[in-house]
Amino acid sequence: MGRKKIIAGNWKMNMTPSEAVKLAETLKPLVNNEKADVVFGVPAIDIVPVAEAVRGTNIELAAQNMYFEEKGAYTGEISPLMLADAGVRYVILGHSERREYFKETNADINKKVLCALAHGLTPIMCCGESLEQREMGVTMDFIRQQIKEGLCEVTAEQAKGMVIAYEPIWAIGTGKTATSEQAEEVCRAIRECICEIYDADTAEAIRIQYGGSVNAGNAAELFAMPDIDGGLVGGASLKEDFGKIVFSA
């Protein structure tokens, strides 16, 4: 079990550039945990100033989205070349908010995953069921499809370095966290799905995060589960509490 925990904040559409730098400065001394990889997922416009603010620390940056072409006539989009050149290491792809509000499909997300990997960026690929799907008992069917289609043509070697974030939609921003047993059950099933697509080595290597109302009070219990390799944290990543979450790993 050599997987290092990865604790990522998803700042979503919060923090102007000057606010982002202030928050990064505040959090910097609070998240210096060598036992975990620590990631700030900041809005695109905040990447450059935050990269400057966290230079020389253990903090890595994630973008929250990316287009699947290197450059060209795609008004409003951000390319992997831009992210890599700005010092970004990770890119959150397929967040449920992007699937819902911006109609991203598994096929779109797959193109982005392949393109990110081709440019040396590590995808944090999100999946997760709605409350309705959970109540209908189709959670794992739905998530398997998200994973299989999202990872289409990704090699085992590439998959080993990736991160998957399991984020049940009913737990996002609701204060209603999945219990550690519920989260572990799905994260384990995701690992089994990776084993079916690839092999046991790949399943053992890939990191799977839980996201959805993670806070300083519930993080330790969630991160202690055998198949949960850290968290993707929304609201609580904008507060000093994020330091406590990082040290729960």
Binding site for ligand 13P (CB under 6 A): 10, 95, 167, 172-173, 211-214, 232-236
Closest residue to ligand 13P, based on beta-carbon distance: 234
Shorter beta-carbon distance to ligand 13P: residue 150 or 212 = 212
Shorter beta-carbon distance to ligand 13P: residue 43 or 212 = 212
- What distance in Å separates the CA atoms of residue 199 and residue 153, rounded to the nearest whole number? 15
Token output for 69: 């072409």
Min dist CB 41 to ligand 13P, Å, is: 8
95 catalytic, yes or no? yes
Min dist CB 112 to ligand 13P, Å, is: 16
- What distance in Å separates the CA atoms of residue 187 and residue 5, rounded to the nearest whole number? 14
Min dist CB 236 to ligand 13P, Å, is: 6
Min dist CB 210 to ligand 13P, Å, is: 10
- Cβ-contact 249, 36 below 8 angstroms: yes
Neighbouring C-beta atoms of residue 45, cutoff 10 Å? 13
Q: What are the start-end ranges of the H helices in 62-216?
A: 80-85, 96-101, 106-118, 131-136, 139-150, 156-160, 180-197, 200-205
Which candidate in 95, 97, 104, 129 is catalytic? 95
- What distance in Å separates the CA atoms of residue 232 and residue 214, rounded to the nearest whole number? 8
Residue type, 113: V
Min dist CB 9 to ligand 13P, Å, is: 8
Which candidate in 60, 97, 104, 167 is catalytic? 167
- What distance in Å separates the CA atoms of residue 73 and residue 77, rounded to the nearest whole number? 9
Shorter beta-carbon distance to ligand 13P: residue 133 or 202 = 133
Shorter beta-carbon distance to ligand 13P: residue 80 or 231 = 231
Token output for 28: 């910097």
Shorter beta-carbon distance to ligand 13P: residue 190 or 198 = 190
70 catalytic, yes or no? no
Residues 6+ apart with CB under 8 A from 139: 129, 133, 186
Token output for 207: 């990191």
Where in the sequence numbering do the catalytic residues fall? 95, 167
